[in-house]
Amino acid sequence: MYKLNTRIDSMMKCFATTLLMSFLLGNAALAADQIRWKVPTGFGTKLTALGDQIVDVADNVDRMTDGRMKMKVFEPKALVPAFEITDAVKDNKLQVGYTWLGYDQGKIKAAPLIAAVPFGFEPQEYIAWWYEGGGRQLGESLYKSHNIHPILCGLTGPETAGWYRKEMTSVKDFDGLKIRYAGLGGKVLQKLGASVTMLPGGELFQALEKGAIDATEYATPPADSRLGLHKIAKYNYFPGWHQTFTSFHFVVNRDVWNSLSKSDQAIVDTACTAGVLKNLARAEALSGPQLVENMAKGVQVRKFPDAMLRELRKVYQEVVNEQVEADANFKKIYQAQQTFHKSYQAWGKVGYLPRDF
């Protein structure tokens, strides 16, 4: 009986040891499978239909993985300056980030073409090009040499053409104007004599208030309202010729991206694709009511005259021709967009009711 009890005790200890090892190994595997990313963003998270977008994406990733993947979003400048996010991701100082790739124009000439194009695609045409017309592959190829994997993760329609202290009736009014303008649109205004600067959104109110700039563009009406631009510049012009769409990308260090399992890559892709739709829907839904509210506060909502838009487009074509000659990647992506646009117009011109119907 003593030997039997000893044998049972030994078996129980062995069983307990096996359970403990399985528990420890299981926890170790779970810990190794966890993903914790710090996400710098170029936009304040309180900016409606702009900075709040990446917060929604992070929440969705958390829920889809039951907390195994977590993305902690940091406000602009908390980890890195707003315009230096891709540099930090490239060098793996940060694994991921959320930004507008047009900020990379100084070092990647073609970047604005996948971020916002003057007189370019409307939102539905842009996502058609990105997802189905080869745009995604061109974007990934453009950033491959910079050790970055870009994922389309947010989208809005046209921005405002800017907030001004005075009426704008001719392109001559840009001559000598100190203005914050982004991307290729900024190059257009420079050709027209404007003094163009780039400032993060968080600095615009103070710059306008102190007279460092005379005018500015930034985003759509809901986001601009959060910045309080209407309190200083009472003339809000449309249409957003310089950014007929505005796309935002979740950028991942390529080594980090390649280290992820296929399922984790799919989770991030899916969360971002869903985010694109939600971001566009929110911006579109809120822009009209915000304009009505702005007008009630005394904002003068104006449209640039058609003759002015034609002149801006003419100057933009000059900018494009210069960029095409200067950079092979710009030429490749620009020509691909033009080819897609020509094909799309066979549908776009006949498929929808005219806006003035």
Distance (Å, whole) CA 252 – CA 265: 11
Q: Among 19-23, 155-159, 210-214, 294-298, which is the least confidently predicted range?
A: 19-23
Q: List pLDDT tens digits, range 104-163.
A: 999 999 999 999 999 999 999 999 999 999 999 999 999 999 999 999 999 999 999 999
Distance CA 302, CA 189 (A): 19
- Phi, psi dihedrals of residue 220, rounded to the nearest 5°: -85, 165
* % of the chain beyond a pLDDT of 90: 90
Q: In the block, which residue shows the tokens 């994997």?
A: 149
Amino acid, single-letter form, for residue 159:
E
Q: CA-to-CA distance for 236 and 300, rounded, in angstroms? A: 6
Residue 31 has pLDDT above 90, yes or no: no
The helix or strand, by DSSP H or E, that contains position 39, with its residue range, turns out to be: strand 35-40
More confident residue, 170 or 10: 170
End-to-end Cα distance, the chain: 98
Is residue 30 pLDDT above 70, yes or no? no
Judge whether residue 224 has pLDDT over 50: yes
Separation of alpha carbons 99 and 92, rounded Å: 16
Predicted TM-score of the model (pTM): 0.90
State residue 248's pLDDT score. Answer: 98
Short-list 110, 177, 152, 142, CA closest to 270 = 152
Q: What is the DSSP letter of 41?
A: B
Is residue 134 within 8 A of residue 341, CB to CB? The reply is no
| Domain 162-238+299-331 is found in CATH 3.90.79.10 | no
Angstrom CA distances, 21 to 8, 13, 27, 32, 87, stand at 20, 12, 10, 16, 43
pLDDT in tens, 70-90: 999 999 999 999 999 999 999
Domain ranges of the chain: 162-238+299-331
Q: What angle do CA 292, 354, 121 make, to 5 degrees?
A: 80
- Mapped onto helix, strand or coil, the DSSP state of residue 233 is coil
pLDDT at 244 over 60: yes
Residue 73 CA to residue 231 CA, distance in Å, equals 29
DSSP 156-180: E----SEEESS---SGGGGTT-EEE
Tokens 């694109």 found at: 276
Residue 2 in this model has a pLDDT that exceeds 70? no
Inter-residue contact 129 to 340 (CB < 8 Å): yes
pLDDT number for residue 23: 44
DSSP percent split of the chain into helix, strand, coil, nearest 5: 55, 15, 30
pLDDT at position 6 is 54
Cα–Cα separations (whole angstroms), residue 355 to 156, 349, 352:
19, 11, 9
Strand bridging mode 235-238 / 162-164: antiparallel
